[in-house]
Structure 1
Amino acid sequence: MKEKTIDYILRATWQAVARMYNEEASKYGATMSIGFALLSIDKENGISSTALGPQMGMEPTSLTRTLKSMEEKGLIVRKKNPVDGRGVIIHLTKLGKEKRELSKTTVLKFNDVIKQRVSQEKLDHFAEVAEIINGLISEKQIYNTEKGKEQETTSSIK
């Protein structure tokens, strides 16, 4: 059996998680993106639209679609930023706060089930590996094209 590449394992796992969350969210007329946005918006003070995108790791066009859908569903309202009138603060409505709690419960259940089946030591290693991968990517240490030379890799895909 061929060894799976690290990126394959990450991608396949994330796709399975996303599919699971989307299936669960669809029971409530939502999506995983909406659930994640609900959890990312401060339930008391809201969040500026410019801060929400980077916090969620979403591209502006995807975020705009998600926020429009959330507004249409009555989950959020946009208000002028009192500090900077050019900006917008996104606030949760009463319904948005209720759906936020539902999203929180869903995420916590996922975490609980995983924690019941995976030791804390393995979870710590998983988090450590993920941090290393994110660090290598953010520091551009994987595809360093400085001086036209790509960093050599020690393994090859078979």
Structure 2
Amino acid sequence: MKEKTIDYVLRATWMAIAKMYNEEASKEGSTMATGFALLSIDPENGTPSTSLGPKMGMEATSLSRTLKTMEDKGLIMRKKNPDDGRSVLIYLTEFGKEMRDYSKKVVLTFDQAVRKEIPEEDLEKFIEVASKIMDLIASRKIYIE
């Protein structure tokens, strides 16, 4: 492609970030998906399993597999929701909380490195543009029949 499309730049950037996160996570025997799940679970009150998928943008099958792996590794435990017996709450174990702290450190280290290299006004413009792209997609006005 002679010119890079917007989706190419976004996709290539995200793929590079995902690869970097997976490399860091592998040092602790983990994955980016596991780290993201750890960061999405409320460390004090737990999180309903049904709200994790939308929060993480994961399909039910992938989320189910990730949660099963996390449970097998002793990162999480499932308990019935006392307010709704039909649903399950996901809680972090002590090990899960330690790994959550590690995941948080990895994300913040990346964030600090980017902020150190890119001027604040450029980052603000980037976030503004990304927000407008997400709004455009959410409006469903791109592919109108």
User: TM-score scaled to structure 2, two decimals?
Assistant: 0.98
Q: Show structure 1 runs of 5+ residues with no match.
A: 146-158
CA distance in 2, matches of 1:26, 1:108: 17
Can you list the C-alpha shifts for 1:25-66, whole angstroms capped at 9, x where unaligned?
011010000000000000000100001110111110110010
CA distance in 1, matches of 2:15, 2:80: 36
* Displacement after TM superposition at 1:144 (Å): 1.6
1:51 corresponding residue in structure 2 = 51
User: TM-score scaled to structure 1, two decimals?
Assistant: 0.90
* Displacement after TM superposition at 1:141 (Å): 1.4
* Displacement after TM superposition at 1:88 (Å): 0.1
Identity %: 63
Structure ranking higher in strand proportion: 2
* 2:37 paired with 1:37: yes
* Displacement after TM superposition at 1:139 (Å): 0.8
AA matched with 2:119: S
**Alignment RMSD (CA, Å):** 0.9
Can you list the C-alpha shifts for 1:48-107, whole angstroms capped at 9, x where unaligned?
000111011111011001000000000000000000001000000000000000000000
Which has more radius of gyration?
1
AA matched with 1:108: L
Give structure 1 regions of 4+ aligned residues with deviation exceeding 3 angstroms.
Answer: none
2:9 corresponding residue in structure 1 = 9
* Displacement after TM superposition at 1:110 (Å): 0.1
SS in 2 for 1:86: strand
2:137 corresponding residue in structure 1 = 137
Q: Show structure 2 runs of 5+ residues with no match.
A: none
* Displacement after TM superposition at 1:2 (Å): 2.3
AA matched with 2:142: I
2:100 corresponding residue in structure 1 = 100
1:87 corresponding residue in structure 2 = 87
AA matched with 1:131: S
Alignment length (residue pairs): 145
SS in 1 for 2:85: coil
SS in 1 for 2:2: coil
* 2:73 paired with 1:76: no
2:28 corresponding residue in structure 1 = 28
